[in-house]
Amino acid sequence: MKHIAIVICNYNYERFIAETIDSSLAQDYPGTRVIVIDDGSTDSSRAVIEQYGSRISAVFKENGGQVSAYNLGVELAGTDYVIFLDSDDVLYPHAVSEVMRKFEEEDLAKVQFRLDVIDESGKQTGAYIPHSEPPADCGRLLREGWLYPSPPASGNAYSVSALKAVFPVPEGGINRYGADFYAIYGAALIGAVATIPQSLGAYRVHHSATPSVSFANSEQIKKAPKAFKERWVTLREIAKERMNLELPPAFHDFAHEKAYFGSSLYHASLGARWRWMLNDSRAYMHTIVANPFWSLKKKAGTLFLSSLCLLPYSPLSDFVVRYITNPLARRGTVEQ
């Protein structure tokens, strides 16, 4: 039997970490190892983690950021496969079994699966991510600069050998966070990616009672686009030095561009909305019209919705911006 490690990276999530560990220990795949890396938490996380004793492998390190925790997790996994589970998310009991079935069927670098979106209390929101599935040749498209549709960290399982071709990643600066960027896209440069089209876990979104343009927990909507660009630069360097691959200088990604769209148009005046559409929307429009992962129907629908932001009725424009940028504003399926 091949083994898999669930590596939980935690920082100051004492209110969620027990539920995350419990979901990992409840996996019905017998060859599952649970590792918890606490990145210098200053709350009561350590006391919660220590209660599990020998049922888990616990590592307490000085605070260095998420990338430092991933670097250590790849080194310590000691298994054929690994899932990096955020310490506020959960896996359903059959998640590892489904993932391992995929790995046994094919030679894969990564298996990804849908995540249901839950609120801070753990209640289902009715949304899930992602809605689009990457094609079999997503690695080729990535080498052309297209970031493929992927769930966030907790919805991915990796071949450890694939991750070792990418990690360790330089730590510090912008790389204190966003480690899943390097795992998600780095793995696709190494080998094939497969998708399980069902929800095998849950992604927790904090403070989601009032839908806005913000969706992700870790970074503000105005900071995330800049961070993505800097991470792409680092990934290009890793690909060139370790894989002899030359990635393009710029990447294309609708999730990235809709952050600019949302921060520029939300609560904006009619004049500001028109100016952005006329002068600054080229990259946004390109990731819709040329998107290799979307159907013609989806492209047309997104273009139509975007055009509604040019109407003078600002409540409609704000609703459309929320609908496009934040899945929770729809309370339905998610476009990522």
Residue 218, domain member (yes or no):
no
Domain that holds residue 289: 254-329
pLDDT digits (tens, 9 = 90+) for 222-280: 566 778 899 999 999 999 999 999 999 999 999 999 989 999 999 999 999 999 999 99
* Residue 214: per-residue pLDDT: 60
- Burial (Cβ within 10 Å: 0-12, 13-18, ≥19) of residue 30: exposed
The β-bridge partners of 12 are: none
Question: What's the rounded Cα separation, in Å, for the pair 171 and 148?
Answer: 24
Instruction: Please check whether residues 66 and 167 belong to one and the same domain.
Output: yes
Residue at token pair 């998310």? 89
**Chain Cα centroid distance, residue 161:** 20
Instruction: Please check whether residues 306 and 164 belong to one and the same domain.
Output: no
Counting the structural domains of the chain, the total is 2
3-state DSSP assignment of residue 88: coil
Instruction: Please check whether residues 27 and 102 belong to one and the same domain.
Output: yes
Question: What's the rounded Cα separation, in Å, for the pair 134 and 130?
Answer: 10
Beta strands in 66-168 (DSSP E): 81-86, 90-91, 110-118, 124-129, 156-159
Q: Give the list of residues 6+ apart from residue 37 with CB closer than 8 angstroms, or none.
A: 7, 8, 9, 10, 59, 61, 69, 72, 73, 76
Average pLDDT over residues 120-127: 91
Domain boundary among 151, 183, 212: 212
Residue 219, domain member (yes or no):
no
Instruction: Please check whether residues 157 and 33 belong to one and the same domain.
Output: yes
pLDDT confidence bin for 217, thresholds 50/70/90: low
3-state DSSP assignment of residue 232: helix
pLDDT digits (tens, 9 = 90+) for 85-97: 999 999 999 999 9
CB 8 within 8 A of CB 24: yes
Percent of the chain scored above 70 by pLDDT?
92
Helices 282-289, 296-307: axis angle to 10 degrees equals 150
* Residue 233: per-residue pLDDT: 95
End-to-end distance of the chain based on CA atoms, in angstroms? 35
For residue 111, give the nearest of 80, 90, 142 by alpha carbon.
Answer: 80
For residue 168, give the nearest of 267, 65, 275 by alpha carbon.
Answer: 65
Residue 224, domain member (yes or no):
no
Residue 141, domain member (yes or no):
yes
Question: What's the rounded Cα separation, in Å, for the pair 181 and 190?
Answer: 14
Query: What CATH number is attached to the domain comprising 203?
Result: 3.90.550.10
| Amino acid identity at 44 | S
Residue 113, domain member (yes or no):
yes
Residue at token pair 């993505």? 228
Residue 258, domain member (yes or no):
yes
Residue 301, domain member (yes or no):
yes
CB 20 within 8 A of CB 52: no
pTM, two decimal places = 0.92
The β-bridge partners of 119 are: none
Instruction: Please check whether residues 180 and 297 belong to one and the same domain.
Output: no
Mean pLDDT of the chain: 92
Domain boundary among 182, 197, 212: 212
For residue 329, give the nearest of 205, 182, 190 by alpha carbon.
Answer: 205
Four-residue CA torsion sign, 261, 263, 267, 270: negative
Instruction: Please check whether residues 183 and 275 belong to one and the same domain.
Output: no
Instruction: Please check whether residues 111 and 43 belong to one and the same domain.
Output: yes
pLDDT digits (tens, 9 = 90+) for 137-159: 899 999 999 999 999 999 999 99
Instruction: Please check whether residues 202 and 70 belong to one and the same domain.
Output: yes
CA distances from 305 to 17, 321, 335 (A): 39, 9, 13
Residue 202, domain member (yes or no):
yes
3-state DSSP assignment of residue 1: coil
Instruction: Please check whether residues 129 and 263 belong to one and the same domain.
Output: no
Instruction: Please check whether residues 311 and 191 belong to one and the same domain.
Output: no
Instruction: Please check whether residues 79 and 165 belong to one and the same domain.
Output: yes
pLDDT digits (tens, 9 = 90+) for 20-37: 999 999 999 999 999 999
Instruction: Please check whether residues 131 and 34 belong to one and the same domain.
Output: yes
SS3 readout for 203-232: EECCCCCCCCCCCCCCCCCCCHHHHHHHHH
Domain boundary among 155, 186, 212: 212
Which H/E stretch holds residue 297? helix 296-307
CB 220: neighbour CB atoms within 10 A?
A: 11
